[in-house]
Amino acid sequence: MQPLVSIIMPAYNSSEFICESIDSVLSQTYMNWELIITDDFSTDGTQNIIENYARKDNRIKFHFQDANLGAGAARNKSIRKSNGRFIAFLDSDDLWLQNKLEVQVKFMVDNDVALSYSGYKKFSRQGVGGIVKPQQTVNYKQLLCSNVIGCLTAMYDSHLMGKRYMPLIRKRQDMGLWLDILKDIDCAKAIPEVLAMYRVDSGMTQNKFHVLKYQWRFYRDVVGLSRVKSLMFFVIYSYKGFIKSQL
């Protein structure tokens, strides 16, 4: 029997794109999933869209926040409500290829992998952009230098790791979660092929690109690094982030 995958989706004023994101889940060749959407106090028509989808497919579940608390808090609420062995992440403006879950679950089960990720392709209204190719493995120290795990491609095994949650910060929550997991395993492992599409022209994505000013505080306050180590990793991270943005 296929293990259950819990798909974690935060949403905030996502009415323009969330239908495409949900449809990419409904199109999966892997059938045993639950999509848990937590709406972070949207003020547009996002909540109505979510409710309409949930009425049509009981695998789609939803929760509404009473205040805007950020994507990390929304994801954590969905994780708390999840029932699956595997926890996967998809933002409400990104897309999955049809075979994403099928390929990734098989890879993790066959290779006893606790945390995995894959390549992804950038896209916008103007068309398809560059491909972000994943490095084969990444450990704790390497991830401090560059967050090579695209959140829309990540999946962890809660049977191996227990449920893990994101730090309650406004930016870099996903990086905080991966680092927490990597404290307890040798490395995360990549599937080399492209399994997802990363939108670069939405408000959610544009905000993600303005994270460098948070990175120093992330190293100091969340990771707890010294000033010297924070400076070293900040310089490396900034350089690698610039190279990545050129793709």
pLDDT digits (tens, 9 = 90+) for 100-156: 999 999 999 999 999 999 999 999 988 888 999 999 999 999 999 999 999 999 999
Q: Integer distance in angstroms from the first to the last C-alpha of the chain?
A: 39
Q: Which of 33, 243, 25, 46 is nearest to 152 (CA)?
A: 25
Query: Cα torsion for 37, 151, 113, 104, to the nearest 10°?
Result: 70
pTM of the full structure: 0.92
pLDDT of residue 239: 82
Q: 233 lies in a domain?
A: no
Q: 230 lies in a domain?
A: no
Contacts of 216 (CB under 8 A, 6+ apart): 230, 234
Contact predicate 222/172, CB 8 Å: yes
pLDDT of residue 136: 97
Contact predicate 57/23, CB 8 Å: no
pLDDT of residue 211: 65
pLDDT of residue 86: 98
Q: Which of 164, 135, 9, 160 is nearest to 71 (CA)?
A: 9
pLDDT of residue 243: 66
159: domain CATH number is: 3.90.550.10
Work out how many domains the chain is built from and give that number.
1
Q: 235 lies in a domain?
A: no
Q: 16 lies in a domain?
A: yes
Residue ranges of the chain with per-residue pLDDT less than 50: 205-209
Q: 174 lies in a domain?
A: yes
DSSP secondary structure string for all residues of 141-153 = HHHHH---S-GGG
Strand partners, 124: 127
Q: Which domain holds residue 89?
A: 5-209
pLDDT of residue 3: 98
